[in-house]
Structure 1
Amino acid sequence: MAAQQSQGIQTLLEAEKEAAKIVQQARQYRVQKLKDARTEATKEIEEYRKAKEAEFKEFEASHAGVIHSTQQSVDKDAEVKLKEITDQYNANKDKVVKKLLDRVVLVQPELHRNLRKVGQ
């Protein structure tokens, strides 16, 4: 009977070792699957990022011409207006200086209107 119990215990110990091996393999399998999933997710994220960058560059390139032509148009308008202002300045500066000097130099002395009323 002792031999039979010893054999039963031995069988149980072997079964326990086998179960431990199976559990260890399952853990390793799970860890490997997680690593594979992370790697795959990283690849997908990188592909998506590259696709979006390419899409943005294409969008930017297609609209760069519009921005450039608009900037040229604005610059041209600014030059035209600046030339008009410069021309007006050059045409009228002598008149403005003369008017200012006339107002400062040619003073007509008069009594203040309130003073005239009191003196009358």
Structure 2
Amino acid sequence: MTSQSQGIQQLLQAEKRAKDKLEEAKKRKGKRLKQAKEEATAEIDHYRLQREKEFRNKETNVMGSQGNLSSKIEEQTTEAIRNLTSSYHRNMESMMKKLLSTICDISPEIHPNFRPAV
């Protein structure tokens, strides 16, 4: 009977060791999964930051060129206004003289198709 109880004791101890090993394996697996998840999160964050940086660079290039376009358009508009103003001042007096002479200098004439009533 003692050999039976020793056998049972050995089986119980073997079962306990197997449970301990199983628990330890589960803990290691959980630890590895947690570590893999953290590494994946870090890699995702790194990738996200890299893509955002590239996006900002592209956005800056596009917006910068739009800023350049708006400044060029504004510069061209200012130049056109300056040219029109100078042209107006150069030609205003001669145009006013022509307009006044056309309105005020009337030379009455009989129309060539006019037939006096007899």
Instruction: Tell me if TM exceeds 0.5.
Output: yes
CA distance in 2, matches of 1:73, 1:21: 77
CA distance in 2, matches of 1:2, 1:36: 50
Output aligned runs, 1:3-42, within 5 Å.
3-42=6-45
**Deviations 1:32-55, CA, capped at 9 Å, x for gaps:** 011001000000000000111111
1:47 equivalenced with 2:45 (yes/no): no
TM-score (structure 1 length as normaliser): 0.62
Give the drift of 1:57.
Answer: 1.6
Query: CA-atom RMSD, angstroms?
Result: 2.6
Unaligned residue ranges in structure 1 (runs of 5+): 89-120
1:71 equivalenced with 2:68 (yes/no): no
TM-score (structure 2 length as normaliser): 0.63
Give the drift of 1:74.
Answer: 2.5
**Deviations 1:58-83, CA, capped at 9 Å, x for gaps:** 22233333211101123344556778
